[in-house]
Structure formats: structure tokens, C-alpha cells
């Protein structure tokens, strides 16, 4: 439908793909969302030789990552933060709390890719050929099945329940997955294979590190070390800026979950000591971990689109300006919705 609406206009196609990817990844795995787009364009490349996928796929990968910042279940960092906050305060974020800032960040992304990003990208990769091993024979387009309609219905009901939260989110999510099996949308084997186990184990590992820091006293030691550098009278605003900048820089060179789990517990301990609200710091740091696009190291979707022939420096040249703009927006917007 997106390809039909775009009418062969690459710029219009870019806008529709980025917007759709951001919306879908707010509720689904960003890896799964990107995989769907890659499958669609893998076939489309055979039909439209003039379509340069490099102008589309890197922005779509970024949109999948940023779209995950809109809801509580959009990506793993939100769940890690939720667990840490719940342990420390007994109360985490609500399902759409991230949307206050996340939706504005998506609008900024759309403006960037349509004005600066599109011509910048064409100058950076300049029509390089897509690697031959990525291309494949065109497959037949499939019609919408009854199973897909059932899955769509389950998806809509799940989103509504996520918003209303009549029961815990884990129960709603598990119920939706079981419903897909009960109504024949998939079977147990396919459902098991569809789980992104690398993300699950990474999240479990991050939570384990957080618990280890807490039990061993490592978080307190790190807090004391930071206090010895910045002093005990630092204001909330400078501490907030330092926290999100440090998180974003760390995320460029390691997975965003690792950067988050290193910085967040320490900063929240400092906030407890200083008497600042934990929520703006938790949200700012979580968002900062997801807006690092200058290298392909921080997020799996950025690595996935590397098959289109992007070079390491392409990410830096395309993403650095966006990183800076989003960092400034993060620093300004979060305190407006969640005061210190």
C-alpha cells in the first residue's frame, strides 16, 4: 500500500516508510519491523531498478529505533529502566509516558530526513551498487489471509489494553501471543522461533548487572567516585546534561543496553542523595541510549542495514547532525514534562 501511494516518488516513499516504521516499532520489535521492510524492498528492487535503497533503508532503521522510544514496550532499554525504577521507588513509567517526548523526536526525525538527510545521503553514498549477494529472485506477492486479519484484530485489541492497563502489561502481552496460537495465526514452533532471543538474553544480562551493582555496593562506590569529581552541590540541570551526553556517547561504541545499565543506576543513586526526582533522569538517560546513530555499534537495526553496502563512516556523516539535534531536544523536552 505504501509503495502504491508513493507513486514511484522516492522522496514520498521515504517519508511514508519512515513514518510507518516509527509507528509500527512503537508496539513491535524494532528488529522485526525492519525485517518486514527489508523483505518488501528485496523484491521491489527487482521491479524498479531506479530505486536506490540506500536512500530509504538507513532512515527506516533509525525510525525503527526511535519509534521504539514512544511506548514502554517499544524497546529493551525502557524495560530495563522500568525494572530499575520499580525496585527503587515502587512505581515505574506508564505505558505512554515516553510518548510525550518520543513523538516530538519522531517529528524531528521526519523533518531531518526529508530536508537535510535525503540530499546528504545521496552525496554520501552516491549511487553505489547494492551487493549482489543481497539481491534475490522476485517472489510472488501474497494476498492478505484470514490469519493476518485475525492477527491484526489481536494487535488492535492488545494496543487498546496496553493503553487502559486493566492488568499488568506482561499479562496483556503474553495473552496476545497465546491468542495468536489459539486462533491458528501461528503454531507453537513458529512462535518460539520468532522470539528475538538475543534481545531477551541481553535484557536479562543487563538486569543481572544492575542487581549485581546494587547488592555488591558497586553503584554506591561509583556514586562516591562521581561525587568526588563533581562535588555534592551540583544542580539538577548540569547533572542531567552530563548524564544524557555521557549515555549517548557510550551508546555509540557499545550496545545501548550496556551503556544504560552502566550509567542509570549510578545517576539515580546520586539523585536520591541530592533529593532530585528520579523520573526525568531515568527518561532522559533511556532516550539518550536510543538516539545514538553515528556508528552501527549501538543498535541491531543499524547493523542489519549494513548489507546494503553502507560504510562505517557513512553512519557518522549521516547521523552526527541528527544525534546532536535529538540530544538538544532530549535535554530541553524531558524536564518540561517531568520536572526535576
As given in the structure block, the three cell numbers for residue 269 are: 543513586
pLDDT at 137: 45
How far is the C-alpha of 266 from the C-alpha of 271, rounded, in Å? 9
Angle at Cα 102 formed by Cα 96 and Cα 108, nearest 5°? 155
How far is residue 300 CA from its own chain's centroid?
10
How far is residue 180 CA from its own chain's centroid?
25
How far is the C-alpha of 187 from the C-alpha of 207, rounded, in Å? 30
Q: Write phi, then psi, for 338 (nearest 5 degrees).
A: -135, 90
How far is the C-alpha of 37 from the C-alpha of 296, rounded, in Å? 18
Query: If DSSP codes are grouped into helix, strand and coil, which group holds residue 276?
Result: coil
pLDDT at 105: 95
pLDDT at 194: 66
DSSP 8-state symbol, 115: I
pLDDT at 141: 47
Q: Could you tell me the CA-to-CA distances from 91 to 74, 81, 87, 339 in Å, in that order? A: 19, 11, 8, 17
DSSP 8-state symbol, 140: P
Contact of 94 with 61, CB cutoff 8 Å: no
Which residue is associated with the grid cell 526525525?
109
Residue 284 CB coordination number (10 Å): 23
pLDDT at 132: 59
Burial 76-89 (b: 16+ CB within 10 A, else e): bbbbbbbbbbeebe
pLDDT at 139: 44
Query: If DSSP codes are grouped into helix, strand and coil, which group holds residue 102?
Result: helix
pLDDT at 190: 78
Task: Please give the chain's pLDDT, 340 residues, in tens.
Answer: 887 787 778 889 999 999 999 999 988 878 778 888 887 776 665 555 667 788 899 999 999 999 988 888 888 888 889 888 888 888 889 888 999 999 999 999 999 999 999 999 889 987 666 665 555 444 444 555 677 788 888 888 887 887 677 887 778 888 888 888 888 888 888 777 766 665 566 556 656 665 676 677 766 676 566 656 666 567 888 889 988 998 898 888 877 877 888 888 888 888 888 889 999 999 999 999 999 999 888 788 888 888 788 888 899 999 999 999 999 999 999 999 999 8
Contacts of 76 (CB under 8 A, 6+ apart): 199, 202, 203, 206, 257
pLDDT at 127: 66
Amino acid at each position: 500500500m505504501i509503495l502504491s501511494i508513493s507513486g514511484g516518488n522516492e522522496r514520498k516513499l521515504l517519508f511514508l516508510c519512515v513514518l510507518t516504521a516509527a509507528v509500527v516499532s512503537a508496539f513491535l520489535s524494532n528488529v522485526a519491523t525492519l525485517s518486514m521492510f527489508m523483505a518488501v524492498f528485496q523484491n521491489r528492487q527487482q521491479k524498479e531498478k531506479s530505486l536506490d535503497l540506500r536512500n530509504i533503508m538507513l532512515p527506516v532503521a533509525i525510525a525503527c529505533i526511535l519509534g521504539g522510544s514512544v511506548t514502554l514496550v517499544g524497546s529493551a532499554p525502557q524495560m530495563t529502566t522500568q525494572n530499575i525504577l520499580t525496585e527503587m521507588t515502587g512505581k515505574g513509567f506508564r505505558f505512554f509516558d515516553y510518548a510525550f517526548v518520543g513523538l516530538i523526536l519522531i517529528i524531528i526525525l521526519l523533518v531531518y530526513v526529508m530536508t537535510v538527510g535525503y540530499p546528504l545521503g545521496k552525496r554520501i553514498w552516491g549511487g553505489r551498487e547494492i551487493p549482489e549477494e543481497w539481491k534475490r529472485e522476485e517472489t510472488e506477492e501474497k494476498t492478505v489471509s484470514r490469519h493476518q486479519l485475525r492477527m491484526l484484530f489481536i494487535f488492535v485489541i492488545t494496543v487498546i489494553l496496553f493503553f487502559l492497563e486493566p492488568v499488568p502489561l506482561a499479562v496483556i502481552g503474553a495473552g496476545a501471543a497465546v491468542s495468536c496460537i489459539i486462533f491458528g495465526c501461528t503454531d507453537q514452533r513458529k512462535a518460539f522461533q520468532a522470539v528475538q532471543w538475543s534481545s531477551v538474553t541481553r535484557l536479562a544480562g543487563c538486569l543481572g548487572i544492575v542487581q549485581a551493582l546494587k547488592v555488591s555496593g558497586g553503584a554506591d562506590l561509583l556514586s562516591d567516585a562521581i561525587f568526588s569529581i563533581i562535588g555534592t552541590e551540583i544542580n539538577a540541570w548540569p547533572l542531567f546534561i552530563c548524564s544524557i551526553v555521557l549515555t549517548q556517547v557510550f551508546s555509540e561504541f557499545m550496545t545501548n543496553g550496556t551503556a544504560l545499565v552502566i550509567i542509570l543506576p549510578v545517576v539515580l543513586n546520586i539523585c536520591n542523595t541530592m533529593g532530585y526526582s528520579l523520573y526525568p533522569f531515568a527518561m532522559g538517560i533511556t532516550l539518550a541510549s536510543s538516539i545514538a546513530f553515528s556508528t552501527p555499534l549501538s543498535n541491531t537495526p543499524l547493523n542489519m542495514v549494513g548489507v546494503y553496502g553502507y560504510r562505517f563512516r557513512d553512519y557518522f556523516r549521516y547521523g552526527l547532525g541528527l544525534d546532536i539535534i535529538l540530544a538538544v531536544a532530549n535535554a530541553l523536552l524531558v524536564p518540561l514534562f517531568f520536572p526535576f
